[in-house]
A and B are shown apart, each in its own frame.
Chain A
Amino acid sequence: MAGTAQHATERRRFERGPDRLAAGAAVVGLAGLAAGVAVGPNVGWDVFFRSYLLNYCFVLSLALGALFFVMLQHLTRAGWSVALRRVAEFVAGALPWLALLFLPLLIPVLQGRPGVYKWSSPDVVAGDPLLQAKAAWLNPAFFTVRCVVYFVVWSLLAVVFVRDSVRQDATGDVGHTRRLEWWSAPGMLLFALTVTFFSFDALMSLNPHWYSTIFGVYFFSGAVVGFFALLALLVTGVQRAGALTASVTVEHYHDLGKLMFGFVVFWAYIAFSQYMLQWYANLPEETAWYFARQNDPWWRGVSLLLLLGHFVAPFLALISRFPKRRPGLLVPAALWLLAMHWLDLYYLVTPRPLGASYVPAAPLHWTDLALFVGLGGLFLAAVVRPMGRHALLPERDPRLGEALTFENI
């Protein structure tokens, strides 16, 4: 095939570098966590746990986006993406580690802390007929059971999809590909249900009176935007470090740019659908959620920044093919989108529900930063560590040839 000669001289494995980087990231991450815990008593543990939830959902959503991407490529028998798939697998591979990091979030639920999840406090529920009606779903025990189910499903899917792909590097057996293709369809079904209910449980129930049927799709759309941004950054990083210099071409960046653009528009569509319907019908139990985000100057600013930064700006910036084919322009766009994805989750998690009995605290805290560094560092460590142990692309995937010679029309 054309262009095979160049592939002969590229680096496809790292040695020690990833281990060193992962160790550094883990140290920084632990330091961040420690700092967060240290300032915890000063800002209040409610604030601490909300910060933790925010940053945890940020890294988790990126890993879930990766799992989605990997399964989607198998489901559609995609050829173009094979050269990128291993890096996405590394990101999805962080899911079992993230399951461990979820455990601290069970503390406020089991403690019945009304500042985090109102419904977890028996005192609050006793005075709230709506929460009593929902108690069959929103109670600490069932919440814990559901979360265990989510993380078991995700961890198993991540382990299966990473392990078979890595094993194929050694065996070259097409059977691995077939097995993953078989798993991708039921996997996707499980993924859709678990992600939806996770978003209901972890995020929507922060305002337990409020409800929106589209919320699961909203969370998913933001997660995928964040993941594609992260993938573009990781792939650029790997190339800067001297590997995959020939396998990953401008054509792959072009496609990543298209996917980023497409999901930015999809996110806007979903966000607008939810906003439009609740704004228009103007039912008090629904608009309370937007009321908290629109009638306070800070949160109105955040909403407008989301509209401009999560949709208008990237829409205009990525609509042309020019930036998509230039990694130098795509990287800043990806960084921006990651920041916007964080802001999106901040907008979901942090605003206090209307009528919250406690004093509204400042909208940003040191814990937000400390735990961002903490969870981000540990997540990065989990993603980078396997880069030193496995090839950086599925070397013997039967569709790799297609990916290497792929061209956009």
Chain B
Amino acid sequence: MAAHPVEVDNTWERPGERAPLVTGGHTFASLTDTVCAVWEAPRPPRAWYVAFAISVALLAVFGAMIGYLIFNGVGVWGLNNPTGWGFDITNFVFWVGIGHAGTLISAILFLFRQKWRTSINRFAEAMTIFAVMCAGVFPGIHVGRVWLAYWLAPYPNQMAMWPQFKSPLLWDVFAVSTYATVSLLFWYVGMIPDLATFRDRAPTKFKRIIYGLLALGWTGSSRHWHRFERAYLILAALATPLVLSVHSVVSFDFAVSQLPGWHTTIFPPYFVAGAIFGGFAMVVTLAVPARALFGLKNIITLRHLENMCKIILLTGMIVGYAYGMEFFIAWYSGNPFESFIFRSRALGPYSWAYWTMIACNVLAPQLFWFKRIRTHQLAMFLVVMAVNVGMWFERFVIIVSSLSQDFLPSSWDYYRPTAVEILTLAGSFGLFFTLFLLFCRFLPMVAMAEVKTVMPHADPHAHPHAHVPATRRFDYNPDEFDQEQPA
């Protein structure tokens, strides 16, 4: 297999035909070889080392900033009296949002029979796990006395204290931890057959034992596959409402309050759409370099990227719809506090953040109406980078602009992050990319078993040795059939 396969344009639309999802004339064996090559190569590409060095350096910054915070207290951040949440919760919601695309691609697209998900679901799920890990750090460290964070968990204790289950912040604990657990299960269960592939190809005994343990003795038995597929379907059906619930609960953190700009009923679906939007942008951000670097262009094809761009366009419009509804109802409500805060968002002290958000989240994705841009990797990359930035700013605008100008003008204050907060945000990317790069190197990056099922050869009725066409045609000519003529 060539290390750098040529780009094949499979983004054409011919009604009645389905474009191939794997290009480059792959067979089952060559597909396995290509995906395993990333892991089997004696050493990863040089770019991997560069990226890894930068990531680990950022991770060190992250650790140092958290240590500094814990040692000195939350005063090292720029929070002030009305603005009790700043970068901490912005980063939390940002990362949780990123963590949605993985399970969305896996679960929702699975339920909708979107076969193209198979090429990208594995590393999108990995992204989910790592993003949720980054997200989990922030509520943990923002509580001030980090060592007492375990009080969030319900357990019998000598203080006879229980969590207040009517508090949305506690729902968050349950939602995010359930989400992390189920995402991990979903990721791992889906990976078992591919870990078995690694086991069977392991060059050393040590690797064979490690991957053998992880593969749980998988033999590819059809009786096992039957229950496996059922379990996978059920997990997808469970994960789908779970994805919706998690970001809905995160939105409840804000929306059950009475603060103008936070309390609005569209928040739950709007947060979910925003999370999917930001999550897909991050998947594209990772996919564009990864497919080039690891020679996966025939597996994560241009069509996969284009489909993701379409979803980004759709969810970007849903997010834009929510912005619009908020604005309209803020006026329509006749509530002066509501209309004030929205005027202030557009024209007030944080208008720079607001317009950054609008430009990145609403305007930039409009470029995806054009196929030229949906299929041009650099253009696409620039747009999704804008979306990544915009989605961070969305959370910043929601949290900071509403808090800094609450009901009482005498308590208004402008929030400015300190260097510690900015470095913590940068450091969280270090954690994310370190884990992601390790994953690329040591775990199956593409769900090989699943991709094989969508290859034309997987159809048991295809003649085994005949030429298998790359596209699927559904030939049907109505003129061949004699219809029952109306008498």
Contact = CB atoms under 8 A, between A and B. Distances in A.
Contact of B475 (A214, A215, A285, A401): A401
Interface string A115-147: 000000000000000100110010000000000
Nearest to B313: A185
A217 to B, nearest CB: 6
Interface string A1-28: 1001001111111010000000000000
A77 B263 contact: no
A228 to B, nearest CB: 15
Given A8-B482, A400-B476, A274 B265 contact: yes
Given A7-B481, A213-B264, A281 B474 contact: no
Contacts of B325: 196, 213, 216
B258 A77 contact: no
A399 B475 CA distance: 9
Contacts of A400: 476, 478
The majority secondary structure among interface residues of chain A is helix
B255 A277 contact: yes
B476 A404 contact: yes
Interface string A42-84: 0000000000000000000000000000000000010110000
B332 A137 contact: yes
Contacts of A217: 266, 269
B15 A211 contact: no
Contacts of B269: 214, 217, 269-270, 273
Given A283-B258, A285-B335, A399 B266 contact: no
Contact of A77 (B15, B255, B329, B480): B15
A358 interface: no
A267 B392 CA distance: 29
Contacts of A281: 255-258, 263
A4 B481 contact: yes
B252 interface: yes
Given A1-B474, A133-B334, A189-B317, A273 B268 contact: yes
B258 A405 contact: no
B222 interface: no
A280 B317 contact: no
B463 to A, nearest CB: 15
A283 B263 contact: yes
Contacts of A401: 16, 474-476
B103 interface: no
Contacts of A148: none
Contact of B252 (A15, A276, A396): A276
Interface in A365-409: 395-402, 404-405, 409
Interface residues of B, number: 43
A269 B266 CA distance: 11
Contacts of A9: 484
Nearest to A196: B325
Contacts of B18: 79
A13 B486 contact: yes
A44 B47 CA distance: 78
A15 B486 contact: yes
A18 B450 CA distance: 47
B256 to A, nearest CB: 4
A292 interface: no
B333 interface: yes
A212 B326 CA distance: 9
A174 interface: yes
Interface in A197-220: 200, 209, 211-217
B123 interface: no
A198 B329 CA distance: 14
Contacts of A15: 486
A213 B15 CA distance: 38
Nearest to A6: B481
Nearest to B267: A277
Contacts of A172: 478
Given A192-B321, A213-B326, A395 B265 contact: no
* Residue with the greatest number of chain A CB neighbours at <10 A, chosen from B113, B248, B334: B334
A208 B267 CA distance: 21
A277 B257 CA distance: 8
A317 interface: no
Contacts of B484: 9-11
Interface in B232-251: 241, 244, 248
A203 to B, nearest CB: 14
A173 to B, nearest CB: 11
B265 A278 contact: yes
Interface in B458-487: 474-476, 478, 480-484, 486
A399 B263 contact: no
10 contacts: A77-B13, A178-B13, A178-B15, A185-B369, A209-B334, A214-B269, A269-B244, A269-B248, A281-B257, A398-B16
Given A13-B486, A192-B321, 17 more contacts: A10-B484, A172-B478, A196-B325, A200-B332, A211-B332, A213-B266, A213-B325, A214-B268, A217-B269, A269-B248, A270-B269, A273-B269, A274-B265, A277-B268, A280-B252, A283-B263, A409-B113
Interface of B: 13-16, 18, 113, 229, 241, 244, 248, 252, 255-258, 263-269, 317, 321-322, 325-326, 329, 332-335, 369, 474-476, 478, 480-484, 486
Interface of A: 1, 4, 7-13, 15, 77, 79-80, 130, 133-134, 137, 172, 174, 177-178, 181, 185, 189, 192-193, 196, 200, 209, 211-217, 265, 269-270, 273-274, 276-278, 280-281, 283, 285, 395-402, 404-405, 409
